[in-house]
Amino acid sequence: MSSQRAVLLVAHTGRPAAVQSARLVLDRLTAAGLAVRVLASEAPDLRFPVAREMPVSAEAAAGAEMVIVIGGDGTLLRAAELARPAGAAVLGVNLGHVGFLAEADPEDLSETVDRVVARRYAVERRMTIDVTVRQNGCVTAETWALNEATVEKAARERMLDMVTEVDGRPLSRWGCDGVVFATPTGSTAYAFSAGGPVVWPEVEALLLVPISAHALFAGPMVVSPRSVLAAEVIGGPSAWPPGAAMDGHGEASGAVLWCDGRRKVDLPPGARVEVRRGVRPVLLARLRGAGQVGAAEDGTVQDGTVQDGTVQDGTVQDYPAQGGTETGALFTDRLVAKFGLPVKGWRGQADARRAVAAAGQREEGPSGDA
C-alpha cells in the first residue's frame, strides 16, 4: 500500500468560479507531493489529467486523508456521502449562499491548501442520525443524515396525518405538512426555517420540529441523544382532524422521507420512520483556531486517523479542558457573521471584540448556489 497522502476533491462544476478554484487547489496539492483524486463525473469539467478519476461511491474517498469541497453546503453534503464511510475529514471552501458547514473562503485558497499540506488543521466529529423505515413491521429502507431527516406530505393539496413517538411512547398526533428530525449541525438548516432552536454543535441532542402543524401543542422539542424518535403515517381511511368527513378520494395521503435533501424514500400510509443517533459521525476539518488553545472539539485527523489532540507541524498535542468553550465561541462568531446579527453595543473584552470583527471580515465573500 502506498504511503503517499491522498486528497479527494469534490466541486460544484456548474459554477465557473468553482472550477477555477478547484484547479488551483489541485495544482498546489500536486506540487506539494500529495496524490489528488477527482470524481469521474467531474473530471471532464476540471480537466486535470494528473488526478486519479474515482467512481461516485464510497471507494472514491477510501484511504484518503481528506475530501476538499469547492461549493456550498449542498456540495458538502454530497461529499459527506463519500467521506463518511471512509472516515475522511471534509473541508469546505464556500461558494454558496450561507455556507454554514464550509470552513474557508475562495480568497484564502492558497493558505487553506498550505494548512492541509502541513497538517495544521483540527477535526470536529459531527453527530449524524440513522434512519430506519418499516412497513408492517418489516424494514423497507435504511439511510442516514448529517443535517436532518424530514417526513413530508406527498400531496400538496392534502394535510399529512401522522403521530409522533419518543422512546416507545406516543407524543402527539398532528395534521401537518411534516416533521423534521435534526442534529445540532442541522439546527441551522431546515429545522431552523421550521421554527426550531439553534443548537451549538458540541451539544449532543436530537431535535423534533413539526412543520405547520394544526395543533396547540406543536412546538419544537430537544431530546436526549440516546432517545429513539419515530413518526407513523396514519394508514387506512383517514381524515384530519380525527372524525372529520373524508374528502372525495376517501383515502389517506402518503408521505415522503428526505435525508439531507438528497436521499428520498416514499412512505405509503402505515409506514413508520425511526430516528436514532448515528453510529458513524461525519468529520469536519477546521482551520480557524487550529494550532491555538482549545482549537477543536474532540480530535484531529492525521493520515486519516482521528486522534485525541490537535496537529501542529505534524505533532499531536493534547487538548486543555476549555476546548469545548473555544469551539462554542467559534460557532457563535460564525452564527453572527452568517446571519448578520446586530451586536453593536456589546462591551466584551478587547481581545474578544477584535476576534468578532475579524470573523465578520472573513465571512464577507461571494454568494451563489450551493
How many residues comprise the chain? Answer: 370
pLDDT in tens for each of the 370 residues of the chain? 568 999 999 999 999 999 999 999 999 999 999 999 999 999 999 999 999 999 999 999 999 999 999 999 999 999 999 999 999 999 999 987 777 899 998 888 999 999 999 999 999 999 999 999 999 999 999 999 999 999 999 988 888 999 999 999 999 999 999 999 999 999 999 999 999 999 999 999 999 999 999 888 889 999 999 999 999 999 754 455 555 444 444 455 789 999 999 999 999 999 999 999 999 999 999 997 654 322 333 334 443 334 333 443 333 333 333 445 667 788 898 889 888 899 988 988 776 666 666 666 655 544 444 4
Query: Is the CB of residue 1 less than 8 Å from the CB of residue 350?
Result: no
Domains of the chain: 6-126+281-363 (3.40.50.10330), 129-277 (2.60.200.30)
pTM value surpassing 0.85: no
Torsion of CA 249, 251, 257, 263, to 10 degrees: -60
CA-to-CA distance for 234 and 363, rounded, in angstroms? 45
Nearest residue to 288 via CA among 97, 99, 112:
112
Residues tagged active-site: 73
